Amino acid sequence: MTTRLECTDLSGGRGSATAFRNVDLTVEAGSVLALLGPNGAGKTTLLLTLSGLLAPQGGTIAVDGARLRGGRPAAANAAGIVLVPDNRALFTTLTVEENIRVASRRNGPKPKSLLETFPALEKRWTLPAGALSGGEQQMLVMARALIQQPRVLLIDELSMGLAPLIVEDLFNTVSAIAADHQCAVILVEQHVNLALEVADAAAVLNRGRIVLRGDAKELAASPERLESAYLGTAEAEVAAAAATSGSAAS
């Protein structure tokens, strides 16, 4: 498989405060990594650092083997990193089509091509984004990200404020996007079981460190390991040591 995203010994935070440290992650083309952990663990800050919105305090980030200079969002986006933020950040007075069009690239796909992935948006095409339901807005955010032809797709709290059935449909769409477009996806999510269902691999970030990682299906079958990782108990410390030595799969 092709490695799309690799970060090595990555540390970061806001200002002088460090939110995460010594993070090693590798995500292959066409795969989904569920990045899990309790609130305040540093997950969102890690995504902001990968997307260039925050400068790293140390370590490296590479896309398709090419190292990026941290803290440069335009360069990260040009390399194919696209962030779906937890606040959606839509232009609420612009129509669905206009929201997608402003994110499109020259010689890239046409906005209406996104209706193949998100057919529910067709009837909302000329409505302002602010008139959409929460689920429709999240589809629009995903469509706006997808039209940028991401090589690395970073998704922060896809399920926030949405009904469970809508969340399940969106998660299945994420899995299909990874496979169909051969992008690497990092999915930050609090709905652990749903995230593990669609992910290929998972990592738990707690107190700024990766304390557990492995195959998503295997971790889903071991809830006690996940619980100890969330709580920061002794087993998680053992897992962290294994991750640092490179013996655990990412």
What's the pLDDT score for residue 42?
94
| Domain ranges in the chain with CATH number 3.40.50.300 | 3-80+150-245
Two structure tokens written together for 19: 């939110």
236 pLDDT exceeds 90? no
- Cα end-to-end distance, the chain, whole Å: 13
In angstroms, rounded to a whole number, what is the distance separating the alpha carbons of residues 206 and 148? Answer: 31
> 248 pLDDT band (50/70/90 cuts)?
very low
Look up the pTM and report it.
Answer: 0.88
What's the pLDDT score for residue 233?
57
Cα dihedral sign, 90-95-101-102: negative
- Can you tell me the mean pLDDT for 164-186? 92
Regarding predicted confidence, which is higher, 159 or 22? 22
The CA radius of gyration of the chain, in Å to the nearest whole number, is 18
Residue pLDDT, tens place only, 159-173: 888 888 888 889 999
In CATH terms, 3-80+150-245 corresponds, of 3.40.50.300, 3.30.70.980, 3.40.50.410, 1.10.287.3240, to: 3.40.50.300
Which range, of 4-8, 85-89, 207-211, 220-224, averages the lowest pLDDT? 85-89
Q: Within 10 Å of residue 243's Cβ, how many Cβ atoms?
A: 23
Which range, of 86-90, 182-186, 230-234, averages the lowest pLDDT? 230-234
Which is nearest to 188 in space by CA: 54, 36, 56?
A: 36
How far is the CA of 62 from the CAs of 3, 25, 52, 79, 205, in angstroms? 10, 10, 12, 9, 20
State percent of the chain over pLDDT 70.
93
Regarding predicted confidence, which is higher, 119 or 244? 119
62 pLDDT exceeds 90? yes
